[in-house]
Amino acid sequence: MRLAVLGLDGVSLDLARTLCGLTNLPHLSRLANAPAAHGVRAELPELSPVNWTSLATGLGPGGHGVFGFTRIDPVSYAISVGDAGEIAAPRFWETLGGRGLTCKVVNWPHSYPARPFPGWLVAGFVAPELSRACHPPLLARLLAQKGYRLEADTAAGKEDPDLLLRELHAALASRRAALDLLWPDLAWDCFALVLTETDRLFHFQLHAVLDPAHPLHGDCMSFLRAWDGLLGEFLARFDALPEPKRLIAVADHGFALLRAEVDLNAWLARHGFLRLAGQPRHELDASLVAPDSRALALDPGRVFLHLAGRFARGGVRLAEARALREDLRDGLLALSCEGEQVMEDVFRGEELYPDARAGLVPDLVCLARPGFSLTAKWDRREVFGLFGRTGCHTAHGALWSDSAGSRPGRMRDAGRELAAAFPLLA
């Protein structure tokens, strides 16, 4: 039995079908129009590290401990970017490796730094250093010889669309180089390739992608055709495999055109729940949270009560926590932008994560309506704004297409299908 997993970051089923109507994408069409293709609900928050980790572990955030890109030190209030060290459960490649099967995994988000296991891995975003992104170490040397790019430079591309597209083409070429290197010997039971470049394109150019009259539409379509060509190469390799075999294509979340970014820390400050003792130096500087703050937020929609005993400077007592949380929830549910309600729902942490056993569990988790992107910067004062992005994540309808016909409901259920492909090991 061989399992081939193709990850399509940020591609919802509806968006995939729309793209196929805009230009010739035959290989995406094969996946999106397969009889069993359907949409899967993302885990919340609907971010890549959360959902790719749920796919890798078959667990929700409460089980694997990843709740977002960033985490806060409750003593120093330092904000840091999380990594694979915070994952509190084995990933499928580790589980299968421990049972005698070989996995080769390319560009899986939130798998940096690479940990030793009986297989091959090149980690995906966030992965700052190739030598620590690869296992075995030989893989880093082989990829370096091919000029492998861990990630497109979207920081520079944000202001320069032409540069962004060149960066995305270069990153796509790197994914192809890894596929060419690792697939041909067929010395594997499971091969997973994740293409994250669509997420980057949609964040900054979704308006151009969807608007045939936009000056950059043609260039975006050209990139998507190149991307579809790599899908075709992967599918052709799969088609050439002998039976038994199984193909799964999966996205981690969907995308929608951005109406506004909504900063929860700015909202908390405006309503007197958060006070900063000075001006933060940058968007990740939470060091100035004042002792009389009642709540604070982390990207994208995680709200924490500033509890005594949880945070070093926290002053909220347990006796008042429940009422405070309900006040915050009511206020967030009532939040509107130009007359439109921002939130689809605001969940209580213990209801959303009843199995939580690791990580700092939020007291509230906000789910925005499509078109609103929740943030929690520390140097912004305005609740609503636009800052260079034109597309945002959605929690509904992530693409799932399985040659075995499975129809999981949530991302954790989708992750369990990866192990179920090997019945004796499920």
Q: Tens of pLDDT along 304-342?
A: 999 999 999 999 999 999 999 999 999 999 999 999 999
Average pLDDT over residues 383-397: 96
Output Rg (C-alpha) for the chain, integer angstroms: 21
Beta bridge partners of 277: none
Residue 359 pLDDT > 80, yes or no? no
- pLDDT, residue 420, reads 82
CB neighbourhood size of 12 (10 A): 26
Q: Is the pLDDT of residue 426 over 80?
A: no
C-alpha dihedral, 13 to 372 to 150 to 15, nearest 10°: 20
177: phi then psi, degrees, rounded to nearest 5: -60, -40
> pLDDT digits over 280-314, tens only?
999 999 999 999 999 999 999 999 999 999 999 99
pLDDT class of 140 with cuts at 50, 70, 90: very high
Give the pLDDT confidence score for residue 88 in this predicted structure. 93
Q: What is the pTM of this model?
A: 0.96
93-131 pLDDT per residue, tens: 999 999 999 999 999 999 999 999 999 999 999 999 999
Question: Which has more pLDDT, 157 or 101?
Answer: 101
Domains and CATH numbers, the chain: 2-255+393-425 (3.40.720.10), 260-385 (no CATH)
Backbone φ and ψ of 400, nearest 5°: -140, 125
pLDDT of residue 425: 42
- Percentage of the chain lying above the pLDDT 90 cut: 94
Q: What is the mean pLDDT of residues 128-138?
A: 97
Note the pLDDT tens digit of each residue in 241-280.
Answer: 999 999 999 999 999 999 999 999 999 999 999 999 999 9
pLDDT class for 158, splitting at 50, 70, 90?
confident
Query: What SS3 class is residue 307?
Result: strand
Looking at residue 100, its pLDDT comes to 94
The pLDDT-based confidence of 353 (bands split at 50, 70, 90) is very high
CA distance 235 to 6: 9
Q: Which residues of 22-52 are buried (b: 16+ CB within 10 A; e: fewer)?
A: ebebebbbbbbebeebbbbbbbbbbbbbbbb
Q: What's the mean pLDDT when you consider all of the chain?
A: 96
pLDDT at 357: 72
Beta carbons of 55 and 105 less than 8 angstroms apart: no
Alpha carbon distance 226, 209 (integer Å): 14
Question: pLDDT, tens digit, for every residue of 47-82?
Answer: 999 999 999 999 999 999 999 999 999 999 999 999
Q: What percent of the chain has pLDDT over 70?
A: 99
CA distance 407 to 426: 17
